[in-house]
Amino acid sequence: MANAIVMPKAGNSVEECLLSKWRVKVGDAIKTGDIICDVETDKSAIEIEATAEGTVLALFWQEGDLVPVLQNILAVGNPGEDASTLAPAGGKAPAAAEPAPAPATAAPAPAEAATAAAAPATPVANAPLSPRAKKYVAEHPFVLPEIAGSGANGRIMEKDVADAFRSAPHLSPAAAALRADGVAAPTAGTGVSGMIRAEDMGKATPAAQTPAAPAAPAASSAPTAKADVITEKPFPQIRKIIAKRLHESLSSMAQYTLNAEADVTGLLALRQRIKDQGEALKLANINIGDMVMFAVIKTLQKHPEFNAEFADNVLRMHSAINVGFACDTPRGLMVPVLHNAQAMSLGEMAKTVKGLAKQANDGNLNPDLMAGGTFTVSNLGAFGITTFTPVISAPQVAILGVCKTILRPVRDNNGDISYRDFMQFSLTMNHMVIDGAPGARFLQTLKGIIENFELVCIAG
């Protein structure tokens, strides 16, 4: 009996996943636990394992499709079984394994064989567009030619329209506005590279003009320039989501940044003592980043207006401190969230942060562990950055950038000069909610906690 494998619910907040790559094809034999496909959510990339075994009878979705969770994605069973009853609504018709060719009574004539091999795919007029293809056409003003879709039953996928966009005539902004009002667009225009301008709208396609033959270039002894090689890199789904969210953040808030520094000479000395005595005293592996994160949590307890979200003209301050921390991973920026951080000791927090960072880097972090953040920390100090402008993760109201440590001379009250280590901080806030003075007070509190870290730890 044929069985279906469904798209798992990768976290309570996930409603659909992008099927980015199939790892199996119709006819493959799979076992429970085998990787069958790669999917992407709005926060992470995940490998999907088989929950049944047998021969793959059908793949119900195309690469690039957005698949609702708990929908059937493929069918497995014994070779030859019918899997059509397992096909979900919105998926494609099940693709059966190719039957073995019947013995031919006579070989086709060479000319006929050559003609059949060279016959191109017939374009499907008015073929249906996938939702992603429709979105691409809406966002890119051009005339979509008649193309053959690569999806099931000639369905036109996003890749098909993206390929057509590279060679099809584009519309100027004015022409695009006219087309939106119902004015017909020709298949080519009079602009550069056939661009369709406003004056071309509603007219027939202009006749092709034969350019005059260029004059033969004069002989030159100058070396021939190397041809420019352009390498196109597909934009992964997770990168598109990051770009969209950051753009929305900057366009919906009045963001500004304050910079400050704290003397971390004592903090560095404490870190060295922990490192030296950690094994003997069975201390957790605690680094400078962990200490700074702990200080941020203590600071947020004293400034609850920063541990908040702003939406629909309402400021929602949280009692639970859920700190997100930016991670650079092979798949792009990910922000795991340390939930209820105010209840953790320094050692517990350090262990949890390292575990979340490893899962994010390995690509198997549950999307629920990247949701619910109330404040974010972005640490670029290891990259040598002295100051930067972090972008707020909406609807949060602030984000702290942690920068590198700088050694500089300091003169004391007696005029003596000594060298001290200072760490730089960049605090970006939503000016619609937080003014400059509260931001300055937040940084003052953070500076005081960092410069007196041992006393804060003793006081709890």
For residue 442, what are the contacts with CB-CB under 8 A and spacing of at least 6? 299, 303, 306, 398, 427
Taking CA atoms, 267 is separated from 136, 368, 405, in Å, by: 52, 33, 11
Question: Torsions phi, psi of 307, nearest 5?
Answer: -95, 65
Bond into 395 cis (ω within 30): yes
Residue 37, both tokens:
């496909």
For residue 301, what are the contacts with CB-CB under 8 A and spacing of at least 6? 321, 342
Encoded amino acid at 279, one letter = E
| Catalytic-residue membership of 431 | yes
One of 28, 140, 318, 431 is an active-site residue; which one? 431
3-state secondary structure 383-412: HCCCCCCCCCCCCECEEEEEEEEEEEEEEC
Give CA–CA dist 342/297, Å, rounded. Answer: 6
Query: Which string of DSSP letters, residue by residue, matches 421-432?
Result: EEEEEEEEEETT
One of 163, 276, 362, 435 is an active-site residue; which one? 435
Residue 296 in contact with residue 322, Cβ under 8 Å?
A: no
Positive or negative, the CA dihedral 160, 165, 169, 173 is positive
| Catalytic-residue membership of 362 | no
Residue 441, both tokens:
């007070």
CB-based burial of residue 52 (10 Å sphere; 0-12 exposed, 13-18 middle, 19+ buried)?
Answer: middle
Q: Which residues are catalytic?
A: 431, 435
